[in-house]
């Protein structure tokens, strides 16, 4: 089934200058970029994005990190895009991520782990709408 999912290249990925490599992995993996923008989230915007984690001990530190510099937000589209993106990303903790995944290659810690990807159709819908309106999403 053709799905759409939200991807973020987090501030550590942008600083490492691996935007091109990460997008290349998505494109080679069968995912199409149908919306894309660079954004430096405010603390409040990062808190809104990660509201589901507001009771976790790492919420404050995570939202500091996510608002620490520019990030790249994208909508990826493709067959089974949600799971495919998660597969290309690897496990949350880079130490546990499979070899060949983005987080295994570039992640620094369980928090500073280079990429975000929606985890289900419902979160994909709310997360893509958090950053993009309909006219910012393209067909090609
Ligand atoms: P994922 O990004 O793999 O879906 P989660 O939704 O569980 O992972 O967590 C969201 C983000 O919060 C992670 O990508 C990571 O940046 C951070 N995070 C998750 N668990 C921890 C933790 N135990 N300590 C610090 N940061 C964490
Ligand atoms: Mg998650």
- Which pLDDT tens digit goes with each residue over 31-89? 999 999 999 999 999 999 999 999 999 999 999 999 999 999 999 999 999 999 999 99
50 CA to centre of ligand 1 in angstroms: 10
Long-range CB pairs of 60-68 (<8 Å, 24+ gap) are: 61/111, 62/111, 65/10, 65/11, 65/12, 65/111, 65/112, 66/10, 66/11, 66/41, 67/40, 67/41, 67/42, 67/43, 68/11
Q: Look-up: residue for tokens 């070899």?
A: 99
Average confidence score pLDDT of the chain: 98
Q: Which atom of ligand 1 is nearest to the CA of 92?
A: 3
Residues with CB under 5 A from ligand 2 (ion): 119
Q: Please name the residue whose Cα sits nearest to atom 12 of ligand 1.
A: 111
Residues belonging to the active site: 116
Q: Which residue has the tokens 């690897």?
A: 90
Residue keyed to tokens 């995944």: 101
Residues with a CB atom less than 6 Å from ligand 1:
53, 58, 62, 92, 110-111, 113, 116, 119
Q: Average pLDDT, stretch 99-107? A: 98
Nearest to 102 by CA among 29, 1, 51, 4: 29
Q: What's the pLDDT at 119?
A: 98
């Amino acid at each position: 089934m053709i799905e759409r999912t939200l991807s973020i290249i987090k501030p550590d990925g942008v600083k490492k200058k691996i935007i091109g490599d990460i997008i290349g992995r998505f494109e080679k993996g069968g995912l199409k970029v149908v919306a894309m923008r660079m954004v430096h989230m405010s603390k409040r915007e990062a808190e809104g994005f990660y509201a589901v984690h507001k009771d976790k001990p790492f919420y404050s530190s995570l939202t500091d990190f996510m608002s620490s510099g520019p990030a790249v937000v994208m909508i990826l589209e493709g067959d089974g895009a949600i799971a495919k993106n998660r597969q290309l990303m690897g496990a949350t903790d880079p130490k546990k991520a499979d070899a060949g995944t983005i987080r295994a290659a570039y992640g620094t810690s369980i928090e500073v782990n280079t990429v975000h990807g929606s985890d289900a159709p419902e979160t994909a819908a709310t997360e893509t709408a958090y950053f993009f309106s309909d006219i910012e999403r393209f067909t090609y």
